[in-house]
Amino acid sequence: MAPVAFAPYNSHDFAVEEATVPDSPPPSPDRPQQYLHSLANGLTLVAEFIPAVRSAAVTLLVPAGAASDPADQGGNATVLADWMLRGAGSRDNRALTAYLDDLGVQRSLSAETVFLRLAGAMLGKNLLAVLPVFADIVQRPMMPDDGFEPAIDLALQQLDAIEDEPSHKLSLLIRERHYPFPFGRPSVGKRDDLEALTAERLRDDCRARLTPQGSILAVAGQFDWPALVAAVEKAFGEWKPLTPTVLEILPGPRGNLHVTQETNQSQIGLAWDAVPDSDPDSILLQAAMNVLSGGMGARLFTEIREKQGLCYSVHAGYASLKKQGAVFGYSGTAPDRAQQTLDSFIHELHRFEAGVTQEELDRAKIGMKSRVIMQGESSGARAGAIAYDFYHRGRTRTLDELRDLIDGVTLKRVNEFLAANPVKELTVVTIGPSALEVRGLGARG
Amino acid sequence: MAPVAFAPYNSHDFAVEEATVPDSPPPSPDRPQQYLHSLANGLTLVAEFIPAVRSAAVTLLVPAGAASDPADQGGNATVLADWMLRGAGSRDNRALTAYLDDLGVQRSLSAETVFLRLAGAMLGKNLLAVLPVFADIVQRPMMPDDGFEPAIDLALQQLDAIEDEPSHKLSLLIRERHYPFPFGRPSVGKRDDLEALTAERLRDDCRARLTPQGSILAVAGQFDWPALVAAVEKAFGEWKPLTPTVLEILPGPRGNLHVTQETNQSQIGLAWDAVPDSDPDSILLQAAMNVLSGGMGARLFTEIREKQGLCYSVHAGYASLKKQGAVFGYSGTAPDRAQQTLDSFIHELHRFEAGVTQEELDRAKIGMKSRVIMQGESSGARAGAIAYDFYHRGRTRTLDELRDLIDGVTLKRVNEFLAANPVKELTVVTIGPSALEVRGLGARG
């Protein structure tokens, strides 16, 4: 099992067994270095060695997120995320917590749309002692009876808390309306489903869904690659693959939705379709998004917040499922300015389609490159980034590759892309005292 | 102006002119290194060189935060924080934004309790081009007429948004009730004051309060110390000191307050007095706080959330003004469990006074040391940390010193400290459908 370094490698290389590349050069001690190792059971280990840090960050993605919750059990993944930490392998709840605390591991387990995400940050010297415990958590969770009711209660309380936070509630509603089912399902679940759930049903669901097939283990920071591969093989090699859940996909409801609520601020959410992250053109959209909403000089901020003073918060961000991307826009504003805010937002979308200027693009590229370099200094950020890189495109990208990608963005390419990909249909959700009229783009749908 | 390295230096050294230490050794290229330089006008430059990073982070603290807002002008600092970025020196709003964006600077200006905080993250190579602009912002803000109304509007909208977020509202109320005036003043201000404010009054206030006296400029990451000192002297050396604002301090209202509101969750805030950060014993309190609320193994989380499932969120954190510290506790919980949650929280405070175990303390120390090392990898975190280090104790602390400090914490010292510093008086604020009874500790006050 000789290590193989790749920087960058092409999208088919990850299927190549490392043993077939025995003569790859050893990693240079002062340069970041990326690695990949595929386990026979379907788990993929990706890693980025960061010479300058003493920390190591781990992100383990298991395809058992909210999207694959059974149809009538919305929220299972969220309850599982709590329950699974209440003891695993030979360690009960208390022993598991004590073991990880004794190694100074900051960790979290959360239900995302596609994945359950187990993340940890620690000193590199403790990495190999932590991996077997992470393996226990996903392969041998105890799911003790006495931990089930508290886990359900906590999920119900999360739902209550969201009702008290209109901006949070909006962010869930706009995803649910825009994304195809089941990718818009809120990971916090539904009250009726949670109240009907039993420990036995959740155990069955857990046994049916936690699989190495399609799981990704990302490590960034300080480690020794051969030792890491050996430790991962030992801890995760026996994890049995299951038949993956096949998701039945249905279109999202889309259109416009208003929820009347006597809030002090009106909440406005917008969504429109975009290319997926794996599309080679997604870098063009990302550059353009930085012109629209990248910071204090970006259009939404200067035009709607600064010049017109319409709202304190206004922004838009690109997100991507594996086969489909979307842009989500948000504003929280005074009810008597909400209509004008929505109109102005849509006006900016028209301007967006018409293209950006050379000056705007240059500025956006500088910001993107700065953030790439700064991200490279954080083991936690890099572990998350390479995990999702692998999910979206079957390979990881080095910082150098990301920099080259940004350098290759030209005004011509961006503006041709924007003209060819107009905002065809807008999904709009509002929460507040009164409904708004969606004028302009919405009508084109 | 020869560089002086200190690691650590004692609390009086910062008054020593660097020129008196001409023979200090050059910084070792692979070790973090701290520096200090005092300007004649009262501004102090503190810096930590981090050899492994390419980024540089800047934190500039100017003592013009909410606490020093004129008595009838609550919110001035928040409005200023917006207005000051709308043009400075020879650059109008647009030119200022473009200049900083062209250097890839992520920045923010915010009103804290004591300070206005201007923070920036950038590549080290751009640091010297950014400092003169930061100097313009605090010395020569344009405060243009056409930016005033939008800045006021945004502050008012922040107030509206807080009314929609009970947990945010609670966090402001508990500080306002517990801290002495003016340190409990919410930086977002008061509606009446904001509506009565004029551009001219705010300009006068700005001219009276923005002073190098007591200001701290912290830089962490990649830089060349002699060049940094020269650039800071050039950019900030002519900044004229003003007579510092003398704050009239009045005791906080304290006691118990309930705000009736038909929320889904009850919000509970607690506060009690603690030693200030500059007290040598504060490290003992911080270690103990990690036992109470440091993570998944901490007492509040395991006892109240995990075992009893009473609430999704429960935590407590230490905070410190210059001469006075406090611990703030929080829980968001179902209204029908709110009383039990509050009772359990107070029960944990009794147990807290009775001391922690060796096992709990060892675990807390490991977590603290891990976080110190991980913080050392982030230029942004280090810039903020050394700025506040200097504010609290007149000197910065190296990572090695922090590690030694944690190593020096013993069970005997912690438990003697806890026994000698019981929770004498509790300030309690609740928001929700019905009031709660404060039983136990509150009665002792």
Q: Look at the block and give the residue holding tokens 């909410």.
A: B66
* 3-state DSSP helix/strand/coil % of chain A, to nearest 5: 45, 20, 35
Quote the ipTM score. 0.89
Helix (H, G, I), strand (E, B) or coil at B77: helix
Residue-level pLDDT at A243 = 84
Which runs of E-coded beta strand occur in A288-355? Answer: 311-320, 325-333
| Angstrom distance (rounded) from CA A224 to CA A128 | 10
Q: Cβ–Cβ of A104/B369 closer than 8 Å?
A: yes
| Angstrom distance (rounded) from CA A286 to CA B141 | 33
Q: Give the residue among B350, B360, B341, B354 at the shortest CA–CA distance from B303.
A: B341
DSSP string, A357-411: -HHHHHHHHHHHHHHHHHHTT-HHHHHHHHHHHHHHHSS---HHHHHHHHHT--H
Q: Cβ–Cβ of B98/A363 closer than 8 Å?
A: yes
Q: Cβ–Cβ of A307/B334 closer than 8 Å?
A: no
In B, minimum Cα distance to A361 occurs at B102
| Angstrom distance (rounded) from CA B145 to CA B149 | 8
In A, minimum Cα distance to B371 occurs at A104
| A&B contacts, CB < 8 Å | 173
C-alpha distance from B397 to closest chain A C-alpha (Å): 20
DSSP string, B24-54: PPPPPTTS-EEEEEE-TTS-EEEEEE-TT-S
Helix (H, G, I), strand (E, B) or coil at A222: coil
Cβ count within 10 A of residue B351: 12
In A, minimum Cα distance to B367 occurs at A104
Residue-level pLDDT at A11 = 27
In B, minimum Cα distance to A101 occurs at B363
Which runs of E-coded beta strand occur in A240-298? Answer: 256-260, 266-274
- Tokens of residue A398, six digits: 């080095």
Residue-level pLDDT at A244 = 77
Q: Cβ–Cβ of A309/B153 closer than 8 Å?
A: yes
Q: Cβ–Cβ of B107/A296 closer than 8 Å?
A: yes
Residue type, B127: L
pLDDT < 50 positions in chain A: 1-27, 442-445
pLDDT digits (tens, 9 = 90+) for A8-40: 222 222 222 233 333 344 445 567 899 999 999
| Angstrom distance (rounded) from CA B235 to CA B217 | 12
| Angstrom distance (rounded) from CA A298 to CA B371 | 34
In A, minimum Cα distance to B380 occurs at A374
DSSP for residue A298? S
The H or E element that residue A97 is part of is helix A93-102
| Angstrom distance (rounded) from CA B313 to CA A366 | 39
Q: Cβ–Cβ of A150/B306 closer than 8 Å?
A: yes
- Does the N-terminal peptide bond of residue A51 adopt cis geometry, omega within 30 degrees of 0? no
Q: Which residues of B touch A331 (CB under 8 A)?
A: none
Which runs of E-coded beta strand occur in A11-115? Answer: 33-38, 44-49, 55-62, 87-88, 91-92, 106-111
Are the C-beta atoms of residues B117 and B110 closer than 8 Å to each other? yes
DSSP β-ladder status, A55-62 and A87-88:
unpaired
pLDDT digits (tens, 9 = 90+) for B106-120: 999 999 999 999 999
C-alpha distance from A185 to closest chain B C-alpha (Å): 21
Q: Cβ–Cβ of B104/A370 closer than 8 Å?
A: yes
| Angstrom distance (rounded) from CA B89 to CA B366 | 48
Residue-level pLDDT at A191 = 96
User: Of B161, B334, B370, which has the smallest distance from its Cβ to A265's Cβ?
Assistant: B161
Q: What are phi and psi of B333, to 5 degrees?
A: -150, 165
Residue-level pLDDT at B28 = 53
Q: Which residues of B touch A55 (CB under 8 A)?
A: 373-374, 377
pTM over 0.95: no
Helix (H, G, I), strand (E, B) or coil at A352: helix
Are the C-beta atoms of residues A376 and A48 closer than 8 Å to each other? no
Q: Cβ–Cβ of B263/A122 closer than 8 Å?
A: no
Give me the average pLDDT of each 10-residue run along chain B (445 residues). Answer: 30 29 46 94 98 95 97 96 97 96 96 98 98 98 95 93 95 98 96 97 96 98 97 98 89 97 96 97 97 90 88 94 97 95 96 96 96 94 98 97 97 98 94 94 49
C-alpha distance from B199 to closest chain A C-alpha (Å): 16
Residue-level pLDDT at B440 = 78
Q: Which residues of B touch A166 (CB under 8 A)?
A: 164
Q: A96, A162, A188, A312: which to substitute to probe chain B, counting the most B Cβ within 10 Å?
A: A312
